[in-house]
Amino acid sequence: MDERRTKAITEQILQLKSERKAVFLVHYYQRPEIHVLADFLGDSLGLSRQAAATDAQVIVFCCVHFMAETAAILSPQKTVLLPEMKAGCPMADMVDVDGLLDLKAQHPDAAVVSYVNTTARVKAESDICCTSANAIEVVNAIPQRKVIFVPDKNLAHWVSRHTDKTIIPWEGFCPPHDSLRREMVLALKEKHPNALFMCHPECRPEVIDLADKVVSTSGMARYVQGLPEGATVIVGTERGMTERLRRDHPNKTFLIPTDWLLCPNMKKMTLESIRNALETMQPVVRIESDIADRARLALTRMLQVVGGS
Ligand code: 13P
Ligand code: SF4
């Protein structure tokens, strides 16, 4: 889209936003032209906290479906707009509820810890939720010694390195993060021997072994803030984050190890879809109340463990 058109649609959105008294919650993986609309830009934990805390009656969630569902679960009396309903998360879709119920029946003494990257139905069958920022803290805080961890096997593996509890992983994964290979990072490190490597815990264990820092997206923003000017960092997460870091830190260098680190679902959201959603006040994320009530328990337990409730 050319610059003039981007500016014109942005102005229309800001006008509608003020008329609707809407708040914009935006994930780091969104497009740069959407970042500028954010009242809050952050990771999935920060977005959950904001969704629970905001006074606004209308929340425009610029992210993927499970994150908007989280907002609708936490704030059932508010209108949660997800301008692109087809923006799903393939990893969240890798858990089927029947399979989870079977696993629970096999391990009746285990707690189900579900990553927020799950559907409301799966959260409703969970004891507690977690995000990439607090998964270790959540697993260590609960009383059970055995944990069924859904859906990300890589995050489950990362957690298992930081707890003495038994972790039973679901075999899900995030396609973009799981596509990052050790050789790709090593090739960049050879070209840039002073570069630091930070990655998201959704990366494979053998990739995590190479990292100087393993953190959620907000954790990456904080880590980079503390680095000296001139630092070079290889970024092992979706490229929206890298683009944001480049904008915020023009005197630091950020390297992308592979073009596969792109989440097509996060990129489905456009300025046009946001403008249309505010004009029509559609599509609204709705969840059956009995499922929402049970899912809310798992989410509020997480917010009580890590603060934010
Ligand atoms: P964050 O918890 O870092 O926001 O990550 C969410 C996500 O979808 C990562 O792929
Ligand atoms: Fe899902 Fe991965 Fe996209 Fe995050 S980056 S929304 S986990 S597919």
Q: How confident is the model at residue 305 (pLDDT cuts 50, 70, 90)?
A: confident
Compute the average pLDDT of residues 33-56: 91
Q: How confident is the model at residue 45 (pLDDT cuts 50, 70, 90)?
A: confident
List, for residues 54-113, the tens digit of each pLDDT value: 999 999 999 999 999 999 999 999 999 999 999 999 999 999 999 999 999 999 999 999
64 CA: nearest ligand 1 atom: 8
Ligand 2 near 89 CB (within 6 A): yes
Number of H helices, E strands in the chain: 15, 12
| Ligand showing the shortest atom-to-Cα distance for residue 220 | 1
pLDDT at position 238: 96
Ligand 1 near 150 CB (within 6 A): no
Residue pair 150/167 in contact (Cβ under 8 Å)? The answer is no
Spatial distance between the Cα atoms of 141 and 302, rounded to a whole number of angstroms: 10
Ligand 1 near 131 CB (within 6 A): yes
Compute the average pLDDT of residues 266-285: 97
Question: CA torsion sign, 50 to 51 to 57 to 60?
Answer: positive
217 CA: nearest ligand 1 atom: 3
66 CA: nearest ligand 2 atom: 6
Q: How many CA atoms lie within 13 A of 254 on its CB side?
A: 25
Strands (E), the chain: 22-27, 40-42, 58-62, 79-81, 111-115, 128-130, 146-150, 166-169, 196-199, 213-214, 232-236, 253-255
Q: How confident is the model at residue 49 (pLDDT cuts 50, 70, 90)?
A: confident
pLDDT at position 65: 95
Full-model pTM: 0.94
List, for residues 156-181, the tens digit of each pLDDT value: 999 999 999 999 999 999 999 999 99
Compute the average pLDDT of residues 283-302: 96
For each of the domains in the chain, give its residue range(s) and CATH number, in order of start.
Answer: 3-88+266-286 (3.40.50.10800), 91-173+290-306 (3.40.50.10800), 180-255 (3.40.50.10800)
| Ligand showing the shortest atom-to-Cα distance for residue 151 | 2
Q: Report the percentage of the chain scoring pLDDT > 90.
A: 93
Pocket test for ligand 1, best of 28, 30, 44, 116 (most atoms within 8 A of CB): 44
CA of residue 60 to ligand 1 center, whole Å:
18
pLDDT at position 271: 97
Q: How confident is the model at residue 263 (pLDDT cuts 50, 70, 90)?
A: very high
Residue pair 299/129 in contact (Cβ under 8 Å)? The answer is yes
Taking all residues of the chain, what is their mean pLDDT, rounded to a whole number?
95
List, for residues 142-158, the tens digit of each pLDDT value: 999 999 999 999 999 99
Burial class, 103, CB count within 10 angstroms (exposed 0-12 / middle 13-18 / buried 19+): middle
Task: For ligand 2, atom 6, name the residue with the nearest CA.
Answer: 89
Residue pair 245/224 in contact (Cβ under 8 Å)? The answer is yes
